[in-house]
Amino acid sequence: MEQGENKVKEIAGRLKNKVAIVTGAGSGIGRASAILFAKEGAKVVVADYEENGGKGTVSIIRKAKGNAVFVKTDVSSPSDARKVVDAAVKNYGKLDILHNNAGIVRWGNAVECTEDDWDRVIDINLKGAWLCSKHAIPEMVKQKGGSIVNTASIAGCVAFAKIAAYCASKGGLVELTKSMALDFAPQKIRVNAICPGVIRTGMTKGILDDKKTMQGMLQATVIGRLGEPEDIAYAALYLASDEASFVTGTTIVVDGGWTVQ
Ligand SMILES: NC(=O)c1ccc[n+]([C@@H]2O[C@H](COP(=O)([O-])OP(=O)(O)OC[C@H]3O[C@@H](n4cnc5c(N)ncnc54)[C@H](O)[C@@H]3O)[C@@H](O)[C@H]2O)c1
């Protein structure tokens, strides 16, 4: 055997024998993450409250001979958060990876933001990640380990105008990531966050359709292009995999250089 050949074999199927839940997997970053996880050998629970998107992701994975199941889930509902973790165990016998990715944005500064918008953003982006983790962690403890990956945002590290609730939710998620990393390190559960910059998904389509805004975003992204969902999925894959076994409580910024300036 040539030097290094063994390593190559080990790397093929980076999530082999793992079971993963990806929330918000019906589109954008979550869909890319679910597809990549499945491609790397994971059995994937595709969780989304949009049935068409979720089933679409499962169909793409199955066509490529991957293994996935759809579970209609509103992450802000305590019973749904419980249900999606139970579904992973029922379908695949265990849970190794939770990618908390479902999220929404509502526009407005702190004065303009309505109470309904504030509650919905915090309920999905922050409380949803907590609820799913709350139910996932005991299953991971049974497995003697696991990895939680939270999709935060650079809006959780630096401020963006007129999305006050969103910035608060993502800043909270970065801190929740550290708190859970600290509390569950003894049980070998790693918890990390990814802070994406501007990624071309359904969430940003509206603003990127405006040519002037698009130009501004491109200029702020020093690498000279906007992000694609796969750019984030690759970071999630690393954090989810055993390659990141010494990495916990951190945030990986994947923003094309937006925040270096
Ligand atoms: N696109 C960006 O530029 C960008 C930048 C930073 C962070 N993010 C974060 O990435 C994550 C994914 O966003 P995206 O850009 O792929 O957007 P997207 O709108 O394409 O995907 C979000 C998915 O989450 C699902 N979802 C929303 N609320 C849900 C709920 N309560 N329960 C279950 N599923 C729910 C939606 O149905 C959708 O499929 C979000 O957390 C978002 O805040 C996105």
End-to-end CA distance of the chain: 47
Q: Kindly list the catalytic residues.
A: 166
- The answer to the question of residue 146 being in a domain is yes
Flag whether 1 is in a domain. no
Residue 232 amino acid letter: I
Query: Closest by alpha carbon to 136, among 152, 150, 151, 153?
Result: 150
Is 3 inside a domain boundary?
no
The residue whose CB lies within 8 Å of the most ligand 1 atoms, and thus the one to mutate among 119, 124, 203, 209, is: 203
* CA–CA gap between residue 179 and residue 182 (Å, rounded): 5
Q: Is 6 among the domain residues? A: no
Q: Taking CB atoms and a 6 Å cutoff, what residues make up the pocket around ligand 1?
A: 23-24, 26-30, 48-50, 53, 73-76, 101-104, 124-125, 128, 151, 153, 196, 198-199, 201-204
What is the structure's pLDDT at 6? 57
Instruction: State pTM to two decimals.
Output: 0.96
* Within a domain: 2: no
Low-confidence stretches of the chain (pLDDT < 50) are: 8
- Angstrom distances, CA of residue 26 to CA of 45, 149, 185, 212: 11, 17, 30, 29
Domain assignment present for 215: no
- Whether residue 47 contacts residue 75, with contact meaning beta carbons closer than 8 Å, is answered with yes
pLDDT the model gives residue 16: 97
Q: Which domain, by its residues, includes 39?
A: 13-199+229-255
Residue to mutate, 23, 29, 225, ligand 1, most ligand atoms under 8 Å from C-beta = 29
CATH of the domain at 234: 3.40.50.720
In this structure, is residue 4 part of a structural domain? no
Residue 233, domain member (yes or no) = yes
Number of domains in the chain: 1
